């Protein structure tokens, strides 16, 4: 218990700090509130419909009804929507990040006449809510004949995802000491080499944070997908889930199983990449 008891004390102090105790209590309370819906969803997903109707919502399931998952997968056409979601996300997220990182590097580190104006243009992109653009985008995508295609949804996703990522990465790259790229220039590196060998590795924490955010946002995106992907064969998971909900809204067990299957990949990606969230990857580069 030494580790636990240390949590309530200031570093190097033997006395219990009431502020720390209060912080811990509020943290635990907050975590409980946060986790309640998930517990509810998981429990419900594992109950048969009769149990859901008959017992309290927070009662743990007595017999695990795993068949809910199989049934929901089949009836909700998950193999199609999950495949579409994977294709779109796996292409869009890394491609968008790569483009954003290159743009941010150029804006931050390559001296150009138009740097400020171009960056302002990107900033402007972050200010446009895409909901108001849905109709024009639909017309545009339609004009290109890309309705119900992967490029038709990936291109608008890129357009709306990149400005924000450029904004974040520009800030990060600007803070990298100029001596680092100068040293690399003297060592004989081209801009692309400096970008690939120096800037990408040291921005791993930022890139992985953006990757998680972008993965979750892309995976769960609904409105644009609803407008552009009209053929059920092209649907992504959120669209499939909506359709499932409207068809089988009374089958709570299967509905919640479907919800879990929809959010699980996002949670897994988060767990995989959150270890790169560690700060201090640049420590030791330069003396602060």
Partner 1 sequence: MASVDISGVKKSYGAVAVMHGVDVAIGDGEFVILVGPSGCGKSTLLRMVAGLETVTGGQIAIDGRRVNELEPKDRDIAMVFQNYALYPQMTVAQNMGFALELAGRSKAEIKAEVDKAAEILSLTALLDRKPGQLSGGQRQRVAMGRAIVRHPKVFLFDEPLSNLDAKLRVKMRAEIKALHQRLKSTIIYVTHDQIEAMTMADKIVVMNAGRVEQIGTPLELYDNPANLFVATFMGSPAMNILPAVTQAGAVLVAGVATLPIVVSVPPGTKIAYGIRPDEITIDPESPVKAEVVVVEPTGSETHITARLAGHEITLISKARVALAPGDQIGLSFSPNKHHLFDDATGRRLEASGGMAA
For binding to partner 1 (CB under 8 A), which residues are involved?
177, 179-180, 182-189, 193, 197-198, 201-202, 280-287
Look at residue 16 and give its three-state secondary structure: strand
Shortest spacing between CB 103 and partner 1, in angstroms = 22
Rounded Cα gap, residues 68 and 272, in angstroms: 27
Q: Which is nearer to partner 1, 111 or 145 (CB)?
A: 111
**85 sits in which H/E element:** helix 78-109
- The closest alpha carbon to 23, from 37, 9, 40, 41, belongs to 9
Shortest spacing between CB 282 and partner 1, in angstroms = 5
Shortest spacing between CB 111 and partner 1, in angstroms = 10
Shortest spacing between CB 184 and partner 1, in angstroms = 7
Listed in sequence order, the residues at least 6 apart from 114 whose beta carbon sits closer than 8 Å to its beta carbon are: none
At residue 103, what are phi and psi to the nearest 5 degrees?
-65, -45
At residue 30, what are phi and psi to the nearest 5 degrees?
-60, -45
Q: Which is nearer to partner 1, 10 or 197 (CB)?
A: 197
Shortest spacing between CB 175 and partner 1, in angstroms = 13
**What proportions of the chain, in percent to the nearest 5, are helix, strand and coil?**
75, 0, 25
Residue 88 burial (C-beta neighbours within 10 Å; 0-12, 13-18, 19+): buried
Q: Which is nearer to partner 1, 198 or 237 (CB)?
A: 198
For tokens 């990857």, name the residue.
281
Q: Which is nearer to partner 1, 42 or 180 (CB)?
A: 180
Shortest spacing between CB 182 and partner 1, in angstroms = 5
- b/e for 90-115, b at 16 or more Cβ within 10 A? ebbbeebbeebbbbbbbbbbeeeeee
Q: Which is nearer to partner 1, 133 or 209 (CB)?
A: 209
Shortest spacing between CB 192 and partner 1, in angstroms = 12
Q: Which is nearer to partner 1, 10 or 185 (CB)?
A: 185
Q: Which is nearer to partner 1, 145 or 280 (CB)?
A: 280
For tokens 């499932």, name the residue.
244
């Amino acid at each position: 218990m030494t580790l636990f008891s240390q949590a309530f004390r200031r570093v190097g102090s033997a006395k219990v700090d009431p502020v720390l105790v209060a912080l811990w209590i509020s943290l635990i309370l907050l975590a409980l509130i946060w986790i309640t819906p998930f517990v509810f969803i998981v429990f419900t997903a594992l109950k048969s419909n009769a149990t859901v109707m008959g017992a309290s919502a927070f009662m743990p399931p007595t017999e695990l009804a795993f068949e809910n998952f199989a049934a929901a997968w089949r009836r909700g056409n998950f193999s199609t929507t999950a495949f579409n979601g994977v294709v779109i996300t796996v292409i869009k997220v890394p491609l968008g990040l790569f483009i954003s990182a290159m743009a941010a590097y150029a804006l931050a580190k390559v001296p150009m006449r138009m740097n400020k104006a171009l960056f302002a243009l990107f900033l402007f992109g972050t200010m446009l809510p895409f909901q108001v653009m849905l109709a024009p985008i639909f017309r545009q995508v339609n004009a290109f004949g890309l309705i119900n295609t992967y490029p038709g949804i990936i291109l608008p996703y890129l357009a709306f995802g990149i400005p924000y990522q450029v904004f974040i990465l520009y800030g990060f790259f600007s803070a990298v000491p100029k001596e680092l790229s100068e040293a690399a220039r003297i060592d004989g590196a081209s801009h692309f080499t400096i970008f690939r060998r120096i800037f990408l590795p040291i921005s791993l924490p930022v890139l992985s944070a953006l990757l998680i955010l972008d993965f979750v946002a892309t995976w769960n995106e609904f409105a644009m997908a609803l407008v552009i992907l009209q053929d059920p064969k092209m649907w992504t998971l959120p669209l499939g889930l909506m359709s499932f909900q409207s068809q089988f809204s009374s089958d709570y067990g299967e509905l919640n199983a479907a919800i879990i299957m929809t959010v699980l990949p996002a949670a897994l990606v988060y767990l995989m990449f959150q270890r790169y969230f560690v700060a201090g990857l640049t420590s030791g580069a330069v003396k602060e």
